[in-house]
């Protein structure tokens, strides 16, 4: 599984405990010393600190405090908020809803000074409850409402709670920039007297940066969190920081060190008495053994985590354990037992609209199906993964377009306000000139001349502003269609080209790097990035200026050779294979072998000159590429001819192109790549 999938459940303690923030003042400090975990006499803060490991005990103590509290006091609101958050963390939605009703009552009928805070807390907790009930999109709406209501007068613990819960939802929706921004705001609210809060927020922010691909920043933040937790002997925060450390080490390909950190994290959780984190650690251990190929041990660890997760009613840990159990069974060639478990987790993610985790889980499932030899099932799952990745990409692009439009509208409004101000000044000047026109005719004429000059200047300014806006929009358009890592065009650019014509034309190549996951595992993601950059450079060196080369997603590249008149498609496929495999890619002191599997075809389809839509053309070369993989990789498979006479027949033949080929209903060509140079181990 990918590093993000590796710890799908590991950050739940952060959300569970930091959504229950208590009273504090001031901002965080840069350096921390050993100090009390809470201020003396702050019983709510002490209860929250203890609740991280023992939430059920904390609920009972809070219930006793609530029975003694005045009906409409700020302290009652804080107790209700903490209790509701704890009930949510304990997966007790009915009890949480009952408490939330009391918070809503304070928002409607409490003292005026309390209503605003109660309204914010109500919206925030409603979002947290929606997340528990399995819908991230439904959680986002009340959280956005809470954010709109926040102001400088909002109580600090309520403010921080909203920021942390909203950050968690945004992160799981794949909006990492927004999640990081919200967590940074929460950090600025942390009081110096609460070092454990700062430590857990730093670990959470480090994990967000890791998922966003900023590994160095993630390591720096998590190291700070770990030092702070060690200084205060805070075992819960240490468990959290050490878990994130293990994910970072996994991401760098340091599996043995990652295993040590993960084992240490479980030990810290046991010292704290935090059974939920113990269960999460066991589930994550199963993931480590999956990556190492020790499927029996992976299965055993997942099975050890399951009863503890069910006892604690943690759906996140149970999902992770079930998912890893299913993958282990598939890898042991017990597909009929394992696949239903994995599919059930995928269904739960789909119902919760967790697009990014679902895409990651599909990639893992396809990998283990292929590894176990279930090739037709792996192909189907790869297609599901591509569709889900496309959905995630579209959501990201839609958000970028909305932000771009908002930026443009803001600039336009600013420009219009500037013109309106200048226009009002002109009108005032014209009135003054009318009053004096009989006595000061010469000055009026001069004023008219100045007005004409001013209008000319305004016109010039408007033209310059429009030109600048056009230039900015063009730059943004180019950036939105360019892959930031390789500098190639991205999927959005290719989709725009496809929109210019309904049917495919030219020769289309789909290239997928072989065993790229192994490269990431052995050399880390920095090594994987270096390989992708070099592959992009080699592809561009082979192709003509008018050819289009696109980073299609992950380790996949799409190439379009438009029209006719270029070199034969099969010769170009051979040159692409040679360009990649003939020389290793240098990654530090290592030499990494790089090969690819390529599917290609020329359109319209021969011999019928059958026009096919772009989506079908892509699926055809994808099917050809998969045949190249099943035939041993480091090769290209091209479609020369198909007997299909209409699109319905093409669609049927495409479902099992290899069988159609064997029956001579399609003519394919297979081209072998050169001998591999370099090593990936």
Decide if 17 contacts 49 (C-beta within 8 A): no
Decide if 206 contacts 221 (C-beta within 8 A): yes
> Cα(17)–Cα(194) distance, rounded to whole angstroms?
13
> Cα(382)–Cα(480) distance, rounded to whole angstroms?
26
Indicate if the alpha-carbon torsion angle 368, 374, 375, 377 is positive or negative: negative
Burial bucket for residue 60 (CB in 10 Å: 0-12, 13-18, 19+):
exposed
Strand order in the sheet with 596-603: 489-490, 548-553, 556-561, 506-513, 596-603, 635-642, 666-672
> Cα(512)–Cα(495) distance, rounded to whole angstroms?
19
Q: Which of 142, 66, 162, 76 is nearest to 111 (CA)?
A: 76
Burial bucket for residue 180 (CB in 10 Å: 0-12, 13-18, 19+):
buried
Catalytically active residues are 555
Tokens read off for 452? 């004409």
Q: Which of 385, 322, 340, 364 is nearest to 9 (CA)?
A: 322
Alpha carbon separation from 193 to 27, 78, 197, 258 (Å, rounded): 10, 19, 9, 32
- Measured from the Cβ of residue 428, the count of other Cβ atoms closer than 10 Å reads 10
Decide if 594 contacts 621 (C-beta within 8 A): no
Burial bucket for residue 315 (CB in 10 Å: 0-12, 13-18, 19+):
middle
DSSP β-ladder status, 585-587 and 590-592: antiparallel
Give the torsion through C-alpha atoms of 259, 260, 266, 268, to 10 deg. -160
Question: Residue 197: phi, psi to the nearest 5?
Answer: -65, -45
Residues whose CB falls within 8 Å of the CB of residue 55, separated by 6 or more in sequence, listed in order? 16, 86, 89, 90
Which stretches of 411-570 are assigned E, i.e. beta strand?
489-490, 506-513, 548-553, 556-561
């Amino acid at each position: 599984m990918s590093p993000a999938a590796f710890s799908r459940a590991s950050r739940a303690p952060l959300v569970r405990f930091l959504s229950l923030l208590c009273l504090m003042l001031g901002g965080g400090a840069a350096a921390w010393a050993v100090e009390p975990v809470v201020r003396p006499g702050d019983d709510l803060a002490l209860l929250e600190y203890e609740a991280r490991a023992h939430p059920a005990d904390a609920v009972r103590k809070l219930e006793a405090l609530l029975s003694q509290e005045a009906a409409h006091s700020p302290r009652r609101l804080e107790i209700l908020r903490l209790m509701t958050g704890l009930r949510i963390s304990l997966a007790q939605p009915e009890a949480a809803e009952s408490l939330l009703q009391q918070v809503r009552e304070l928002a409607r009928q409490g003292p005026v000074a309390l209503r605003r805070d109660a309204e914010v807390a109500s919206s925030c907790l409603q979002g947290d409850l929606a997340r528990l009930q399995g819908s991230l999109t439904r959680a986002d709406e009340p959280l956005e409402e809470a954010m709109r209501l926040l102001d400088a007068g909002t109580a600090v613990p309520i403010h921080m709670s909203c920021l942390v819960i909203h950050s968690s939802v945004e992160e799981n929706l794949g909006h990492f920039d927004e999640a990081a921004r919200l967590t940074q705001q929460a950090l600025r609210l942390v009081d110096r007297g609460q070092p454990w809060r700062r430590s857990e927020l730093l670990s959470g922010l480090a994990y967000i940066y890791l998922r966003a691909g900023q590994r160095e920043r993630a390591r720096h933040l998590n190291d700070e969190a770990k030092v702070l937790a060690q200084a205060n002997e805070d075992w819960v925060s240490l468990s959290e920081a050490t878990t994130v450390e293990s994910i970072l080490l996994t991401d760098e390909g340091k599996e043995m060190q990652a295993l040590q950190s993960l084992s240490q994290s479980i030990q810290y959780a046991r010292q704290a008495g935090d059974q939920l984190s113990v269960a999460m650690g066991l589930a994550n251990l199963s993931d480590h053994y999956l990556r190492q190929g020790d499927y029996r041990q992976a299965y055993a660890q997942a099975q050890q985590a399951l009863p503890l997760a069910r006892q604690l009613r943690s759906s996140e840990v149970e999902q992770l354990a079930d998912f890893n159990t299913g993958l282990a069974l598939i890898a042991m060639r017990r597909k009929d037992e394992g696949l239903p478990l994995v599919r059930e987790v995928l269904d739960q993610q789909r119902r919760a609209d967790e697009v990014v985790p679902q895409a990651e889980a599909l990639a893992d499932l396809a990998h283990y199906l292929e590894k176990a030899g279930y090739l037709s099932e792996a192909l189907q799952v790869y297609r599901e993964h591509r569709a889900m990745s496309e959905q995630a990409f579209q959501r990201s692009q839609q958000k970028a377009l909305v932000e771009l439009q908002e930026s443009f509208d803001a600039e336009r409004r600013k420009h219009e306000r500037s013109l309106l101000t200048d226009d009002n000044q002109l009108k005032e000047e014209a009135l003054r000139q009318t009053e004096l026109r009989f006595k000061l005719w010469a000055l009026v004429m001069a004023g008219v001349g100045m007005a004409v000059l001013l209008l000319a200047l305004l016109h010039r300014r408007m033209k310059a502003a429009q030109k600048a806006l056009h230039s900015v929009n063009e730059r943004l358009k180019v950036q939105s269609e360019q892959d930031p890592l390789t500098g190639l065009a991205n999927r959005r650019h290719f989709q725009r080209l496809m929109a210019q014509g309904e049917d495919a034309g030219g020769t289309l190549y789909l290239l997928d790097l072989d065993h790229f996951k192994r490269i990431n595992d052995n050399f880390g993601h920095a090594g994987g990035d270096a390989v992708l950059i070099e592959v992009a450079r080699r592809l561009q060196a082979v192709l003509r200026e008018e050819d289009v080369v696109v980073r299609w997603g992950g380790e996949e590249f799409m190439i379009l050779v438009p029209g006719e008149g270029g070199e034969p498609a099969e010769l170009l496929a051979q040159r692409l294979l040679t360009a990649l495999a003939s020389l290793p890619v240098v990654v530090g002191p290592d030499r990494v072998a790089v090969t690819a599997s390529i599917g290609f075809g020329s359109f319209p389809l021969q011999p019928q000159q059958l026009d096919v839509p772009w989506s079908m053309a892509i699926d055809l070369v994808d099917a050809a590429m998969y045949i190249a993989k099943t035939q041993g990789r480091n090769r290209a498979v091209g479609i020369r001819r198909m007997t299909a006479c209409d699109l319905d027949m093409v669609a049927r033949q495409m479902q099992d192109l290899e069988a159609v080929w064997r029956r001579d209903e399609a003519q394919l060509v297979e081209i072998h790549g050169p001998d591999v140079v370099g090593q990936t181990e």
